[in-house]
């Protein structure tokens, strides 16, 4: 591979790469605002100016103050070039830290802050703002301008998800490029020039495509803020965990931002993964975090309708085991969940095998539209994983389950997860059965018809993996602690098996995962 | 610099000291002399270091860090914009704030936000003054010149937004010194998309 | 105040900055005032525990006058919270020098009075002299510093041996004892009060009346409030300090100063972020307390009282 030198360090590059890209790949950040690895080059912020020290120097005329003469004299200075647009070439020597470049960085930074409002106290970006970071690193001087800054519209509603503040905007056009290049919808553009310019909507339009939150995500400053996250939390209090989006079968990688003091998730952000989601996520996926807190099932319950009442954990397991024992194994339906991890499903499949139940079903959500950008047609994150966990057994749908229940072929049900494609009323035939056990993190259709509902941990609280629609398994780590007395589903299933007098052959996640490869082989 | 050392020698003991009585008389006499001087002596020569507390009070100095107060804008709303700097800087974590946004019809919408809840647990507070230093808006101050009024109930030490706003500064003023333009101020340019630039 | 300054100096050493001269004098004066207050309290309490209540009250009276000055300067009598990395929270008040000048004769007077009342009293002498003896060797082996070490005859004073700030500009003596008994510890502290007054007298004369107190770098010290309210640059600098803390270069540093009871050291390991990776405090009292075993062994139960009093154990420093 050809190489060039950046600040004394050799960097190899693919022909056609820019200096910025090659450095970024090596983990070196040349300061920049408008450049984004996933977007086209605009080269309008001028923050990434670097000095090519090798080769013939380009000089730029300038007037510099001469102390001795006491006046300005014409002289020259090296012409700097934007690293984001400068194609890397063999053996060039580039500096992003010499005095010329430092002066340029400080000047650009000062220029961008000339008319910036004093908004850090009310700006959600404070704490992750490039203006703040680069001020600290590259400027660190106080204001020299004495006049009132230019004022522009603030708090402009761009759409249901995004609020725009023109005063904070540095016109990097990242948001415009996200709409053009990722969402393929030219809904934003820039108007006017100089200190009057601002981002505007296309006439008669709102910012309402499926990737609007990406405009906020790429905004290096606080010009675009998310209606959902607005004023909810301060980012410097948030910690970040690694997750996988549960929105659809694409399985976009996420940063799960949560406040450790309250154990509350505040937002998801896309986590770069070139093979899955690159740098992006859709709005619906970004909002999946809201499921976590709403309608959680925190206590085991027993009974249906008005007779539903909470019971102790152990009591619930006893009750579930008793009800399942009363059902003949051949008439027991085991419902896997396309919303749960492969590990949870595998544990349930093992329970089915241990009990001798061979009627396996799959509960999945529907009502979703895919697209050819990121969104998969299937809005269940782990249909493939659940199928693998079943080990080659054909999974019937929930419709089949209802038909079988009505025909008498099914007399008892163990179901994982709250999600199913059906409405509550449609599952009503199951209320005729006595033994319906639901293992669920949230209140939903299955727990509503269950005679025993046992809470399990939600996606942010467990170790596990999803298999996406490209058959790519992706593991994630727990971010929060589950509520008191609530375990991951695989643990609860193992405990339930114990009550039924069966040993599922795993003690921890590791030995359970060992069984996963066996199941995958069996499926093949 | 050479170390200058001063050795302290032990004094020898005299018989007068060993028999104890003369020294105790001397010490007592010294103390009693002060007693009589302060009780019956002329006013100018008295050396009384104490004040008769409930009737006389020592004025707290200018820089004294007393209980907190929240400053107000001219219209009486809290100057605080709920940026949470104070609660970040607070080593005792005694400040709890919930930010809220103004109504879209409000002239301040987009420019400001406000605390819907602002609570200081004055029992937990260690009166270090970091919150005042961390405030970028001159919204929180400790210049009240008051110590915490005592109480036997914990709830009385949880100061909410209204309480904090109702405490004046030592000079009797409630207003902030922050000169920032406010939407609606005559000095505020008040640009919006309709009116243009 | 001595702790405030000690910590600030440690971080400043890591940042390789030095605060302006005016601030250094300010720190010296406030620190020496704190030392006087500390020694007054310790000696007063020692005397009170042996039954001499009047000297206790008289010493504490002056301590309160010292605290009056500290309160005027810092805003609190005891929990000053006044030292800042790169300077102080506020410049000296207009009346600072006059206040201190007025205080000095009072300090001398009460030290003199204490000597008259106590030092010839046989009860006091019997319970202090020859009681709670710590030898030089023991003191060294326990790592004892401060007045306790000096009472055994070790002339170790950080202000003299490793001068920091402007201590090398002052003329003062290091009082040492001969036997390391309670009496020596008491007398070393009493003499140190006089020496602190000498330092203060010189510092007051040398301290400039105007000039900056804080270093001029918005990345270390909060910018001026007026700038923060109106300009974005200062606001950003302010927020950076609030959000992330003060970022120091990677590395580690040990910085030590003469606290009220001996060498107060701070060992900081920095990973380059706004919060220290590791901080270890070397509190003087922890070592002094350990050595009190040697002072007490073989003595009488009743001797614990004067001995423990003269060690001047500060509970917070031994909480570890």
* Rounded Cα gap, residues C230 and C224, in angstroms: 10
Instruction: Determine the pLDDT at residue A421.
Output: 55
Q: At what angle do helices C96-118 and C182-206 cross, to 10 degrees?
A: 160
Instruction: Determine the pLDDT at residue A522.
Output: 66
Residues of chain B with pLDDT under 70: 1-3, 184, 186, 189-197
Residue C152: band (very low, low, confident or very high) from pLDDT cuts 50, 70, 90? very high
* Rounded Cα gap, residues C212 and C206, in angstroms: 15
Provide the mean pLDDT of chain C.
92
Q: C310 with C150: CB under 8 angstroms?
A: no
Total number of domains in chain C: 1
CB-based contact (8 Å) between C177 and chain B? yes
Taking CB atoms and an 8 Å limit, are C72 and B62 in contact across chains?
yes
A200: alpha, beta or left? (left if phi > 0; alpha if psi -120 to 50): beta
Taking CB atoms and an 8 Å limit, are A231 and B113 in contact across chains?
yes
* Rounded Cα gap, residues B157 and B160, in angstroms: 9
Q: What is the pLDDT of residues C132-142, one digit of tens each?
A: 999 999 999 99
Q: What is the mean pLDDT of residues C294-310?
A: 91
Interface test with A, best of B83, B103, B185, B188 (most A CBs within 10 A): B83
* Per-residue exposure over B149-184, b if at least 16 CB sit within 10 Å of its own CB, e if not: eeeeeeeebbbebebbbebbbbeeebebebebbbbe
Separate counts of helices (H) and strands (E) for chain B: 5, 6
The DSSP 8-state label assigned to residue B108 in this structure reads T
Q: Which residues in chain A have their CB less than 8 angstroms from residue B81's CB?
A: 121-122
Q: Which residues in chain A have their CB less than 8 angstroms from residue C243's CB?
A: 126-127, 236
Taking one residue from A and the other from B, the number of pairs with CB-CB distance under 8 angstroms is 51
3-state secondary structure at position A413: strand
Instruction: Determine the pLDDT at residue A523.
Output: 62
Closest CA to A466 of A384, A360, A351: A384
C245: alpha, beta or left? (left if phi > 0; alpha if psi -120 to 50): left
Chain B nearest C-alpha distance from C168 (Å): 8
pLDDT (tens, 9 = 90+) of chain A, 524 residues, equals 899 999 999 999 999 999 999 999 999 999 999 999 999 999 999 999 999 998 888 888 989 888 898 899 999 989 999 999 999 999 999 999 999 999 999 999 999 999 999 999 999 999 999 999 999 999 888 899 888 888 888 888 999 999 999 999 999 999 999 999 999 999 999 988 888 889 999 999 999 999 999 999 999 999 999 999 999 999 999 999 999 999 999 999 999 999 999 999 999 999 999 999 999 999 999 999 998 888 899 999 998 888 889 999 999 999 999 999 988 888 999 999 999 999 999 999 999 999 988 889 998 888 788 898 999 998 899 999 998 888 877 888 888 888 898 888 888 999 998 876 556 677 888 888 888 999 999 988 888 889 999 999 999 999 999 999 998 999 999 999 999 889 999 999 999 999 999 888 888 888 888 877 776 776 66
C-alpha distance from residue A310 to each of A298, A438, A442, B15 (Å): 10, 14, 15, 88
CB-CB: which of B88, B101, B191 is closest to A152? B191
C-alpha distance from residue B24 to each of A378, B38, B176, C57, C186 (Å): 98, 21, 61, 18, 20
Q: C30 with C73: CB under 8 angstroms?
A: yes
CATH number for the domain whose boundaries are A156-293: 3.30.70.20
Q: Which residues in chain A have their CB less than 8 angstroms from residue C236's CB?
A: 113, 120, 131-132, 135-136
CB-CB: which of C118, C163, C242 is closest to B134? C242
3-state secondary structure at position A162: strand
- All chains having 3 or more CB pairs closer than 8 angstroms to chain B: A, C
Q: State the DSSP H helix or E strand holding residue A473, giving kind and residue range, or none if neither.
A: strand A473-476
DSSP string, A68-99: TTTEEEEEEEEPPEETTTSB--TT-EEESSSH
Q: What is the mean pLDDT of residues C153-179?
A: 92
- All chains having 3 or more CB pairs closer than 8 angstroms to chain A: B, C
Domain A301-523 coded CATH 1.10.8.50:
no
Instruction: Determine the pLDDT at residue A420.
Output: 66
Instruction: Determine the pLDDT at residue C222.
Output: 92
What percent of chain C has pLDDT above 70?
100
Q: Which residues have C-beta within 8 Å of that of residue C84, sequence separation ≥ 6? A: C8, C214, C221
Q: Which residues have C-beta within 8 Å of that of residue A195, sequence separation ≥ 6? A: A115, A150
CB-based contact (8 Å) between C53 and chain B? no
Q: What is the pLDDT of residues C245-265, one digit of tens each?
A: 898 999 999 999 999 999 999
Phi and psi angles of residue A44, each rounded to the nearest 5 degrees, phi first: -110, -10
3-state secondary structure at position A408: coil
* Rounded Cα gap, residues A256 and A238, in angstroms: 9
Residue C206: band (very low, low, confident or very high) from pLDDT cuts 50, 70, 90? very high
A3-101: CATH class: alpha beta
CB-CB: which of B27, B127, B136 is closest to C239? B136
Phi and psi angles of residue B121, each rounded to the nearest 5 degrees, phi first: -90, 100
CB-based contact (8 Å) between C64 and chain B? yes
Taking one residue from B and the other from C, the number of pairs with CB-CB distance under 8 angstroms is 124
Q: Which residues have C-beta within 8 Å of that of residue A340, sequence separation ≥ 6? A: A382, A386, A416, A417, A489
C119: domain CATH number?
1.10.645.10
Neighbours of C195 (CB within 10 A): 22
Q: Which residues in chain C have their CB less than 8 angstroms from residue A120's CB?
A: 232, 235-236, 238-239
Of the options 1.10.3720.10, 3.30.70.3270, 3.40.50.450, 1.10.1040.10, the CATH number for the domain spanning B69-165: 3.30.70.3270
Chain B nearest C-alpha distance from A186 (Å): 21
Q: Domain boundaries in chain A?
A: 3-101, 156-293, 301-523
CB-based contact (8 Å) between C219 and chain B? no
Residue C182: band (very low, low, confident or very high) from pLDDT cuts 50, 70, 90? very high
Range of the domain at C242: 2-318
CB-CB: which of A152, A154, A231 is closest to B100? A231
* Rounded Cα gap, residues A220 and A239, in angstroms: 19
* Rounded Cα gap, residues C217 and C214, in angstroms: 9
Q: Which residues in chain B have their CB less than 8 angstroms from residue C175's CB?
A: 5-8
Phi and psi angles of residue B65, each rounded to the nearest 5 degrees, phi first: -90, 100
C-alpha distance from residue A186 to each of A181, A202, A281, A378 (Å): 9, 8, 18, 27
Q: At what angle do helices C304-311 and C284-296 cross, to 10 degrees?
A: 160
Closest CA to A227 of A137, A162, A298, A133: A162
């Amino acid at each position: 591979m050809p190489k060039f030198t950046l600040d004394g360090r050799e960097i190899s590059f693919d022909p056609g790469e820019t200096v910025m890209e090659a450095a970024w790949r090596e983990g070196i950040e040349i300061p920049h605002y408008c450049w984004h690895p996933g977007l086209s080059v605009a080269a309008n912020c001028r923050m990434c100016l670097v000095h090519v020290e090798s080769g013939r120097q380009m000089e730029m005329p300038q007037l510099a103050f001469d102390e001795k003469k006491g006046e300005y004299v014409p002289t020259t200075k090296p012409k700097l070039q934007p690293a984001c647009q400068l194609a890397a070439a063999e053996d060039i020597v580039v500096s992003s830290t010499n005095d010329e470049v430092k002066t340029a960085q400080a000047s650009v930074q000062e220029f961008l802050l000339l008319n910036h409002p004093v908004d850090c106290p009310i700006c959600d970006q404070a704490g992750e703002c490039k203006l703040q970071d680069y001020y600290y690193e590259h400027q660190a001087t106080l204001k020299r301008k004495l006049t009132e800054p230019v004022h522009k519209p603030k708090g402009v509603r761009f759409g249901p998800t995004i609020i725009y503040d023109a005063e904070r905007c540095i016109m990097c056009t990242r948001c415009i490029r996200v709409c053009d290049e990722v969402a393929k919808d030219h809904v934003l553009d820039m108007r006017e020039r100089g200190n009057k310019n601002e981002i505007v909507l296309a006439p008669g339009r709102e910012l309402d495509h499926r990737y609007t939150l990406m405009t906020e995500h790429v905004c290096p400053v606080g010009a675009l803020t998310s209606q959902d996250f607005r004023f909810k939390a301060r980012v410097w209090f948030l910690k970040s965990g690694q997750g996988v989006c549960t929105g659809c079968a694409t399985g976009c990688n996420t940063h799960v931002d949560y406040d450790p003091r309250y154990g509350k998730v505040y937002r998801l952000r896309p986590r770069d993964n070139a093979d899955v989601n690159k740098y992006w996520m859709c709005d619906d996926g970004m909002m999946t975090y809201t499921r976590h807190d709403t309608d959680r099932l925190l206590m085991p319950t027993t009974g249906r309708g008005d007779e539903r009442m909470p019971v102790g954990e152990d009591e619930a397991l006893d009750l579930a085991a008793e009800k399942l024992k009363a059902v003949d194994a051949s008439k027991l339906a085991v419902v896997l969940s396309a919303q749960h991890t492969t590990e949870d499903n595998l544990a349930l499949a093992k329970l089915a095998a241990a009990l001798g139940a061979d009627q396996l079903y799959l509960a999945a959500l529907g009502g979703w539209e895919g697209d050819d950008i990121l969104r998969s047609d299937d809005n269940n994150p782990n249909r493939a994983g659940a199928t693998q966990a079943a080990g080659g057994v054909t999974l019937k749908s929930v419709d089949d389950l209802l038909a079988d229940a009505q025909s008498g072929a099914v007399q008892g049900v163990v179901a994982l997860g709250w999600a199913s494609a059906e409405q509550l009323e449609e599952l009503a035939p199951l209320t005729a059965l006595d033994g319906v056990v639901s293992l669920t993190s949230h209140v939903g259709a299955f727990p509503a018809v269950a005679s025993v509902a046992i809470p399990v941990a939600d996606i942010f609280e467990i170790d596990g993996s999803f298999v996406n629609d490209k058959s790519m398994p992706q593991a994630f780590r727990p971010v929060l602690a589950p509520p008191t007395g609530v375990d991951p589903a695989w643990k609860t299933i193992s405990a339930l098996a114990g009550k039924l007098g069966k040993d599922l052959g795993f003690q921890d996640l590791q030995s359970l995962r060992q069984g996963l490869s066996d199941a995958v082989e069996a499926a093949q | 610099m050479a170390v200058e050392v001063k050795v302290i020698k032990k004094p020898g003991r005299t018989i007068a000291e060993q028999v104890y009585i003369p020294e105790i008389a001397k010490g007592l006499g010294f103390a009693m002399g002060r007693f009589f001087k302060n009780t019956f002596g002329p006013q100018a020569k008295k050396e009384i270091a104490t004040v008769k507390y409930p009737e006389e009070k020592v004025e707290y100095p200018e820089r004294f860090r007393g209980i907190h107060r929240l400053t107000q804008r001219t219209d009486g709303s809290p100057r605080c914009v709920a940026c949470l700097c104070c609660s970040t800087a607070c080593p005792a974590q005694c400040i709890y704030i919930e930010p809220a946004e103004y109504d879209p019809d409000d002239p301040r919408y987009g420019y400001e936000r406000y605390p819907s809840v602002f609570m200081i647990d004055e029992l937990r507070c260690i009166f270090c003054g970091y919150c005042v230093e961390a405030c970028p808006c001159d919204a929180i101050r400790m210049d009240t010149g008051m110590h915490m009024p005592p109480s036997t109930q914990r709830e009385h030490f949880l100061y909410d937004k209204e309480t904090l706003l109702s405490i004046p500064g030592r000079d009797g003023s409630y207003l902030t010194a922050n000169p920032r333009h406010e939407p609606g101020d005559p000095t505020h340019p008040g640009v919006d998309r309709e009116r243009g630039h | 105040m001595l702790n405030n300054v000690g910590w600030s100096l440690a971080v400043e050493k890591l940042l390789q900055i030095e605060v302006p001269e005016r601030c250094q004098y300010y720190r010296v004066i406030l620190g020496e005032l704190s030392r006087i207050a500390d020694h007054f309290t310790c000696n007063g309490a020692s005397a009170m525990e042996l039954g001499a209540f009047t000297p206790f009250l008289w010493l504490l009276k002056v301590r309160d006058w010292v605290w009056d000055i500290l309160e005027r300067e810092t805003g609190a009598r005891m929990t000053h919270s006044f030292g800042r990395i790169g300077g102080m929270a506020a410049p000296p008040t207009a009346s600072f020098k006059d206040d201190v000048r007025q205080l000095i004769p009072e300090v001398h007077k009460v030290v003199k009075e204490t000597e008259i009342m106590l030092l010839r009293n046989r009860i006091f002498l019997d319970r202090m002299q020859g009681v709670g003896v710590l030898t030089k060797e023991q003191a060294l082996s326990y790592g004892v510093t401060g007045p306790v070490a000096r009472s055994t005859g070790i002339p170790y004073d950080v202000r003299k041996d490793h001068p920091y700030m402007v201590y090398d500009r002052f003329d003062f003596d290091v009082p040492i004892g001969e036997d390391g008994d309670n009496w020596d510890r008491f007398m070393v502290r009493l003499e140190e009060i006089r020496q602190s007054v000498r330092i203060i007298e010189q510092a007051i004369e040398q301290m400039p009346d105007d000039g900056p107190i804080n270093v001029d770098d918005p990345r270390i010290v909060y910018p001026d409030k007026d700038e923060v309210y109106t300009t974005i640059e200062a606001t950003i600098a302010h927020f950076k300090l609030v959000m992330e803390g003060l970022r120091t270069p990677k590395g580690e540093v040990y910085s030590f100063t003469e606290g009220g009871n001996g060498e107060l050291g701070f060992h900081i390991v920095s990973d380059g972020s706004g919060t220290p990776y590791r901080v270890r405090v070397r509190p003087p009292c922890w070592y002094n307390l350990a050595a009190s075993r040697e002072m007490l062994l073989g003595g009488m139960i009743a001797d614990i009282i004067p001995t423990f009093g003269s060690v001047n154990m500060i509970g917070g420093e031994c909480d570890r």
